[in-house]
Amino acid sequence: MDKVLIVCGPTATGKTNLGIELAREFNGEIVSADSRQVYIGKNISYGKDLPPSLLPRLSTLKWQGRLLKYYEVEGIPIWLYDVVKEKVQFSVSSWLECAQLVIKDILTRQKLPIVVGGSGLYLKSLLKSLPQISIPPSPQLRQDLADKDTDYLFEYLNQIDPVKAASMNESDRQNPRRLVRAIEITVQDSQVPLTWTTANYDWLQIGLTSAKDQLYKRIDERVDERIAAGANQENPDLAAHPQKWREMEHQIARGQLTWFRKQPGITWFDIFQPDWPSQAKQVIRSWYNKH
């Protein structure tokens, strides 16, 4: 059975760096599962961490009439950055369609797909049939979300429709009724691909995490690095208010921690524990070599 590796967890835990290491060791390619990085531009603000002069390459894989791009970083292809322009609607099902194309192509070339990211619904769409995620507008959905706070609801919306989430003002973000309605509309728009069956693959999920205070410190350092790298040219307003930016990233991280904590089947590694990379690689090696 074909194997697919997932590296997940909150922002700023070093998922992509680990993914590149693993791709080098296990002859793999990276598939990004990040709801911001699918958009063209803002490479620094959205944490693509690409060399400044690196240009994307066109593949032969076609999605909705366009050829998918990939970047090659340290000899490792990274897929599903720069899929659509920022104003274009891009749902969970859109990402799943792209991901299944790329995963099948990587496997055809006898390589290991390594899906890397922190967008929980993207990852869940790989592991569960989409109807379990895309619940149509109904009293049941509202009941399920009734006890959730606005932080949770906004992060949920940000996972499934980051463009809509980014367009909401502060009043909207603090209004649970508007957030739930936005989630309903986005979920209703999802189209269910019928060709994806998770049973065809042998999955392994590796999660990276840390205590919140340590994670926030890493996030703050990362924001400072992005500002120093020229984020003001991409997003002047955000770069001019670093504390607001840090708090926004903290909020995203809290939502991710809450989300992933509830997901089954993830083997977790604390990135502040000694020797965690070799322990993670040992788990992966054992799974990878098992027939």
DSSP letter at 84 equals B
74-89: pLDDT as tens digits: 999 999 999 999 888 7
**Cβ of 229: how many Cβ atoms within 10 Å?**
15
Query: Mean of the pLDDT values across residues 187-194?
Result: 52
- The structural domains of the chain, with segments of one domain joined by +, span 2-133+190-289, 139-188
Token pair of 71, please? Answer: 């970047």
pLDDT at 189: 56
User: What are the counts of helices (DSSP H) followed by strands (DSSP E) for the chain?
Assistant: 13, 8
pLDDT at 219: 97
Give me the architecture of the 2-133+190-289 domain, per CATH. 3-Layer(aba) Sandwich (3.40)
List the one residue out of 116, 110, 160, 154 whose CA is nearest residue 135. 160
Residue 134 has pLDDT above 70, yes or no: no
Residue 284 has pLDDT above 90, yes or no: yes
3-state secondary structure of 73: strand
Dist CA 240 CA 235 (whole Å): 9
Dist CA 118 CA 9 (whole Å): 5
Answer positive or negative: Cα dihedral of 97, 117, 111, 197.
negative
DSSP letter at 211 equals -
Q: What share of the chain has pLDDT > 70, as a percent?
A: 92
User: Which pTM was predicted?
Assistant: 0.81
Going by pLDDT thresholds of 50, 70 and 90, the confidence category of residue 207 is very high
Alpha-carbon distances, residue 164 vs 48, 90, 191 (angstroms): 21, 10, 18
pLDDT at 278: 96
Residue 48 has pLDDT above 90, yes or no: yes
pLDDT at 246: 96
Dist CA 68 CA 82 (whole Å): 8
